[in-house]
Amino acid sequence: MEKNEWINRLELQVHPEGGYYREIYKSTHIIPSSSGDQQRASSTSIYYLLDSETKSFCHKLKSDEIWYYHVGAPVTLYLIDEQGNWSIRVCGPGEGEELSVLIPKNTWFGARVMQSNSFVLVSCMVSPGFEFSDLEMADRNELITMFPQHKEAIIKYTLMETL
């Protein structure tokens, strides 16, 4: 199936960080938030579709997130952990790729489908459950200021012109 067929079949909508999504699971098990001032679902899960013309803008969450590959081209995830370490993981079905990728809480990350004219469909599970109030977006200049040692990589993975 083509990208638009998946978007229609799964009833996906535009995601603020880029791509398309639909929540498919929200646990009824409620737990306190990390700040203790509210409660949240113990876990949530979405379908997430990203195409090669878009990117998942660099952001971080206050919870762990796992990406599960379903169909399409591999997706490159670029990560900067809490200690400032840069890494790249590829979520896909091929040799050297991973069918699931863990993004630890408080890790800056984004994603790109590097293969032209393609897309990827994944599921993303967040635990404790995702809340938009936990989503912190970063822009390229902020990341370079925070992690000057990774300037070239940040520019490469946050600019669409580098495809």
Q: Which structure tokens are listed for 61?
A: 């969450």
CA distances from 73 to 66, 114, 162 (A): 18, 8, 18
Per-residue pLDDT band at 159 (split at 50, 70, 90) = low
Number of domains in the chain: 1
Amino acid letter for position 99? L
Greater pLDDT, 158 or 84:
84
Tell me if 156 sits within 8 A of 162, measured CB to CB.
Answer: yes
| N-to-C CA span, the chain | 24
Is the pTM here over 0.85, yes or no?
yes
Give the CATH number for residue 27: 2.60.120.10
Per-residue pLDDT band at 162 (split at 50, 70, 90) = very low
Greater pLDDT, 146 or 159:
146
67-124 pLDDT per residue, tens: 999 999 999 999 999 999 999 999 999 999 999 999 999 999 999 999 999 999 999 9
Per-residue pLDDT band at 34 (split at 50, 70, 90) = low
d(CA 131, CA 34): 12
Q: Which domain covers residue 67, as residue numbers?
A: 3-162
Tell me if 110 sits within 8 A of 116, measured CB to CB.
Answer: no
